[in-house]
Structure 1
Amino acid sequence: MTTETLMGRAEGQQALDPNALARLGRAIERLGGDTAYVMESITEFIEALDPVERDATPPHLKDWLIESGSMTEERFEAAVAEVERGALKVMELRSFLKFVSDTLTLDEAAGVLDITEDEARQAVADRTLHAFEINGRLRFPQWQFDIREPDHRLRGLTDIVRSIPKDRDWLSVQGIMTLPHEDLNTEGRQTAVEWLRNGGDVARIRRLVRREYRG
């Protein structure tokens, strides 16, 4: 047994199972898309994650939760064990994959808009379309398309895109546009996209976006 193996076990880690890696490869191939792109995207995202922290829970927090009756010691220890296994990282990866599945490729976006790929790239440069890059490839979030509109774009899209600071990450933009907002409330909370598709005021969404980024 090597020193590295001993250290890995001491830290609660397990060696990667070749069978599990092969299963992951088969699962990605089954998707039927661009297998290399999906694999690269997953790898790139994981590489950007911070490592799992061990023994990061302050002792006083454990004491407070147990003494307040919020958790038993057994439940607390089980929760810590799940976090140290990487449960939070798995949740982040699931959110990322869900988001990527809600985007279109350059070719697909151009097809929806009935424009050329060069025109789609120019629209991104002009900030009349929203896109981001993964592994050097443009991805277009689906929320900005609306086939009921004459140009197949969400009403007010240019105003909204130009309200988003250029340095903002795509996940924050996704959240602003697709999560319900308490101040977009008619018959229940609406997302910004639902608000616009239901005929709501574009200026209100523009103000909402600016306020969110102003912090």
Structure 2
Amino acid sequence: MSDNDNQPPSPIYRDAAGHEALPLTLDPSDDAVTEFVDTVNALGVDGRWLVGGLTDFLRRQKRSGGPGMTAEERKFVIESGAMTEAELVASERSVARGSLEKSAGELWLRTYQETWSANTAAQFLGWTQKEVLVAAEEQRIYGIPVRGRLRFPRWQFSLGSPGKLIPHLETVLPVLTE
């Protein structure tokens, strides 16, 4: 056994193409995790619920695990002028690091930001939370379940409309939710 056998693994590894890349695992004590927790806490929201919802979303993401482009496909992309070899390598590295999953997570967070809690929707509409939840069950307003709670997309609310909901929402919702 050599001295290197007792050393922790190097933080640098080689991807399938032989390029140096960062490790794929994240340590709970990593500065990025601490920064994430601090950022969520600074939002002043139910952080456990928000992180749980994001975790559930990310857990549903499926990596293709495929081999990537064939040599012929790579050649075509480069020869077509769509990307240079360097751009293609950078793109492959980015995807390997999780750029697609990161983008999907960012979209989930933006979508979350465009929703209201039952309490906020109730305050806006002048209803009780129970009335909001019943209206969602009856498809008079639209609610999205996230970690056992409904979130209400803001697009359906309108200060300038009677009842503060966009006109004909009840007619459209059954079609949208099929």
What is the TM-score of this pair, normalised by structure 2? Answer: 0.83
Residue 72 of structure 2 corresponds to 60
Alignment deviations for residues 125-152 of structure 1 (CA, whole Å, 9 cap, x no partner)? 1111100111000100000000111200
Q: How many residue pairs end up in the alignment?
A: 164
- Do the aligned partners of 1:106 and 1:120 also contact (CA within 8 Å) in 2? yes
Identity score, percent: 24
Q: SS of 1:162's equivalent?
A: helix
Q: Give the Cα–Cα distance (whole angstroms) in 1 for the partners of residues 90 and 99 of structure 2.
A: 12
Moved more, 63-72 or 29-38: 63-72
Aligned mates of 2:24, 2:103 — CA distance in 1: 20
For 1:124 and 1:58, the matched residues in 2 are separated by 48
Other structure's SS at 2:116 match: strand
Q: CA deviation at 1:54?
A: 5.8
> Structure 2: how far apart are the matches of 1:62 and 1:5?
32
Query: How big is the alpha-carbon RMSD for the aligned residues of Structure 1 and Structure 2?
Result: 2.2
**CA distance in structure 2 between the aligned counterparts of 1:98 and 1:58, rounded to whole angstroms:** 35
Residue of structure 2 equivalent to 1:152: 164
Task: Please name the residue that 1:71 is paired with.
Answer: 83
| Higher relative contact order (Cα pairs below 8 Å, separated by 6+ residues) | 2
Which segments of structure 1 move beyond 4 Å, counting only runs of 4 or more? none
CA contact (8 A) 1:105 1:140 kept: yes
Gaps of 5+ in 1: 167-215
The equivalent of 1:48 in structure 2 is: 60
Letter in 2 for 1:29: N
- Which has more radius of gyration? 2
| Superposed displacement of residue 156, structure 1 | 1.2
For structure 2, which runs of at least 5 residues remain unmatched after alignment?
A: 16-20
Q: Give 3-state SS (helix, strand or coil) of 1:163's partner.
A: helix
Partner SS, residue 94 of structure 1 = helix
TM-score scaled by length of structure 1: 0.69
Distance (whole Å) between structure 2 residues aligned to residue 5 and residue 160 of structure 1? 56
